Amino acid sequence: MKFSDLRSFNFTEIIGKGALLTATKQNGEINTMTVSWGTSGILWNKEVCTVFVRPQRYTFEFCEDGDTLTLSFFGEERKDTLAYCGTKTGRDVDKFEVCGLKYELKNGACIFDDAETTLVLKKLYADNLKSDCFYDEKPLSNYKSNDFHRAYTCEIIDVITK
């Protein structure tokens, strides 16, 4: 199923509620974190989405190492999981075990058993946000430590719905 086939899927609305961004290293290790910022659309004649990760996040090194990411959207019953995965680091805890997240790896993509929708993503481009590229200075207040997000623009290569 292609992203454009999901007529009722409103990316802008659903990303704001939170999703799990999961990255797989080339050695098969995975880590996940909650994200609530992102964009989607058409770029380079491909269906894409862009997710943003700060360099100090543990998931960052996973995003850098592997080629595959997933963006998983859950129902209201996983609200606590999203809160937990957004405040705890995989350096210190096994988020999968603590939250009871069951998954399988398919071609390097982490597919959660109870995710309502999963976007399987292939990295196309990444770059850091830069202070001198902001036209509006208000968003700079998010970066008091100059820890600018890296934007990963990814092709949506599969959409899995349950």
For residue range 111-158, list pLDDT tens digits in order: 999 999 999 999 999 999 999 999 999 999 999 999 999 999 999 999
Tokens of 80: 């606590």
Element (H, E) at 50: strand 46-53
Q: Which of 102, 119, 108 is nearest to 21 (CA)?
A: 119
Q: How many domains does the chain have?
A: 1
More confident residue, 159 or 12: 159
Per-residue confidence (pLDDT) for residue 1, from 0 to 100: 43
Q: Which of 123, 128, 99 is nearest to 113 (CA)?
A: 99
Q: Which residues contact 137 (CB under 8 A, 6 or more apart)?
A: none
DSSP 123: E
Average pLDDT, integer, range 20-49: 95
Asked whether the predicted pLDDT for residue 30 surpasses 80, the reply is yes
Per-residue confidence (pLDDT) for residue 147, from 0 to 100: 94
DSSP 88: S
For residue range 43-86, list pLDDT tens digits in order: 999 999 999 999 999 999 999 999 999 999 999 999 999 999 99
> Residue 60 is part of a domain; what is its CATH number?
2.30.110.10
CB distance 154 to 48 below 8 Å? yes
Q: How confident is the model at residue 162 (pLDDT cuts 50, 70, 90)?
A: confident
Domain that holds residue 146: 3-161
Per-residue confidence (pLDDT) for residue 16, from 0 to 100: 87
CB distance 35 to 21 below 8 Å? yes
pTM metric for this prediction: 0.93
Q: How confident is the model at residue 7 (pLDDT cuts 50, 70, 90)?
A: low
CA atoms of 126 and 2, how far apart (whole Å): 23
CA atoms of 160 and 116, how far apart (whole Å): 8
Q: How confident is the model at residue 11 (pLDDT cuts 50, 70, 90)?
A: confident
